[in-house]
Amino acid sequence: MDFSWSESQIELRAEARAFALDAVSRYGRHNDSWINGYSKELARELGARGWIGMTWPVEHGGGGRPLIDRLIVGEELISAGAPIAAMWFADRQMGPSLIAHGTPEQRVAFLPGILSGDATWCIGMSEPEAGSDLASLRTSAVQDRDHWVINGQKIWTSFGAVADACYLICRTGTGASPHHGISEIIVPMNTPGIEVRPIHDMTTNRHFCEVFFSDVRVPVANLVGTEGAAFRQTMRQLEHERGGIDRLVSNHALYAMARERADTSDPRVRQAIARLETGYRLGRILVIREALSQAPAGFSAATKCVCTEHEQAVAEFVAATFGADAMLADDVTRGLSYAPAYTIMGGTSNVMRNIIGERVLGLPR
Ligand SMILES: Cc1cc2nc3c(=O)[nH]c(=O)nc-3n(C[C@H](O)[C@H](O)[C@H](O)COP(=O)(O)OP(=O)(O)OC[C@H]3O[C@@H](n4cnc5c(N)ncnc54)[C@H](O)[C@@H]3O)c2cc1C
């Protein structure tokens, strides 16, 4: 078995690294840059290079490339802190969902904007009373002739204030269990009746939003997949969200800064670095396994746990290394106060462990 990278993969990595460093010099460096670093200009540059939709099928405008190529490009961009948030959700989730479940008309209408980097999407999943327990969501869509009429509220909607479209998870009916009656609907964010209230978090970010829907009317043709039976679709989408390189290297640039500063004459510091380097390599193997489709079904929950807990260990190391200076260095302060989010967004570690126990290992509930 040959574990080495191929020539073309080595070249792709070198190209992505050079591009990422150049992008950082022009658009700034961001911690967790796939969610905190928003630059439409950079998204368009990535689109022009064919680095959005790299792995989508060619017939849908994608590059038809292996998932490992996207991993390489993503790893370089995020490790360097290049601000890719304007395209990341749509590239990672919305495009693949539309390819898997959308109608030909939806693909023609929405995929080109994602591929060019022009269209930013937000994900309207969480609600004030429905986070981990997504099936308890209450935002409703009721059919009125050829429109859905949407009412309700979403929260923690990243990019709600700047997105062109929302991939909304809502209730179009009820059934035998709370999982029945859930649907996915595309909602253009300029539709009348949508009110967006940005949330200013403690790190000074404003990507989070509350989004209120009051009699918002969208065409029935905007339903993605099967009406009332989208829970499985949504879970598949979350699989795309959980096992990627974005869960491992979000604060890599901060780690690099801290390593430069660390007193490596101290054996305890050397041990801490060894632990992190080992954790990084283990996490990377899991992510690579996901990209090679070698992981068991549902295993992305374990990958996300390992990788995001590594990111938090990195944050602890950065805090210890900078000491009191961490409170003065703005970028470091932000990175540290943001760190609790790693094991919350995309599903908390507790919930990931439930999934591993129940769905991967088949343990009794
Ligand atoms: C940076 C960031 C970006 C986000 N972006 C988006 C976005 O764009 N769109 C979107 O829809 N949402 C987004 N979210 C929301 C995120 O998906 C939710 O915060 C997450 O699913 C947890 O839901 P909750 O906050 O309601 O917490 P809760 O579900 O209320 O959980 C509270 C606590 O209870 C624990 N818990 C809950 N249920 C169980 C259980 N069954 N077993 C064991 N423990 C349990 C949890 O682990 C947690 O510790 C984002 C969150 C963050 C931090």
State the DSSP code for 363. -
97 and 150: one domain? no
Locate the ligand 1 atom nearest the alpha carbon of residue 128 and give its number: 26
Asked, for residue 2, whether it belongs to a domain, the answer is no
Q: Is 278 a pocket residue for ligand 1 (Cβ < 6 Å)?
A: no
* 280 plus 308 within the same structural domain: yes
pLDDT tens across the length of the chain (365 residues): 677 999 999 999 999 999 999 999 999 999 899 999 999 999 999 999 999 999 999 999 999 999 999 999 999 999 999 999 999 999 999 999 999 999 999 999 999 999 999 999 999 999 999 999 988 999 999 999 999 999 999 999 999 999 999 999 999 988 778 889 999 999 999 999 999 999 998 888 888 999 999 999 999 999 999 999 888 888 877 877 889 999 999 999 999 999 999 999 999 999 999 999 999 999 999 999 999 989 988 899 999 999 999 999 999 999 999 999 988 878 889 889 999 999 999 999 999 999 999 988 999 88
126's tokens: 């969480």
Q: Cβ–Cβ contacts within 10 Å for residue 270, how many?
A: 13
pLDDT tens digits, 289-313: 999 989 988 899 999 999 999 999 9
Do 158 and 187 share a domain, yes or no? yes
Tell me, yes or no, whether 225 and 293 share the same domain: no
The pLDDT score that the predictor gives to residue 198 is 95
355 CA → ligand 1 middle, Å: 14
104: containing domain: 7-119
Give tens-digit pLDDT for 136-151.
999 999 999 999 999 9
Q: Are 33 and 81 in contact (CB under 8 A)?
A: yes
Ligand 1 close to Cβ of residue 345 (< 6 A)? yes
* Binding site membership of 269 for ligand 1 (Cβ less than 6 Å): no
| Chosen domain end from 119, 143, 160 | 119
Is any ligand 1 atom within 6 A of the Cβ of residue 203?
Answer: no
Quote the pTM value.
0.95
For position 287, which CATH number holds? 1.20.140.10
Q: How far apart are CA 86 and CA 122, in angstroms?
A: 10
User: Are 175 and 274 contained in the same domain?
Assistant: no
* Structural domains in the chain (count): 3
Rounded to 5 degrees, φ, ψ at 257 are: -65, -45
Mutate to test the pocket of ligand 1, among 132, 205, 235, 242 (most ligand atoms within 8 A of CB): 132
Residue 235 within a domain: no
How would DSSP label each residue in 44-85? Answer: HHHHHTT-SSTTS-GGGTS----HHHHHHHHHHHHHHT---H
Secondary structure in 3-state letters for 156-183: CCCCCCCCCEEEEEEECCCCCCCCCCEE
Closest to 150 in 3D by CA, of 159, 160, 139: 139
How many residues in total does the chain contain?
A: 365
Instruction: For residue 224, give the nearest of 170, 186, 190 by alpha carbon.
Output: 186
Q: Which of 71, 88, 119 is the last residue of a domain?
A: 119
Q: How far is the CA of 301 from the centre of ligand 1 (A)?
A: 14
- Pick the atom of ligand 1 nearest to 340's CA: 53
Q: What are phi and psi of 127, to 5 degrees?
A: -130, 165
- Whether 1 is covered by a domain: the verdict is no
Distance in Å, CA 131 to ligand 1 centroid:
5
- Report DSSP letters for 182-237, one per residue: EEEEEEETTSTTEEEEE---TTS----EEEEEEEEEEEGGGEESSTTB-HHHHHHH
Question: Which residues are identified as catalytic?
Answer: 241
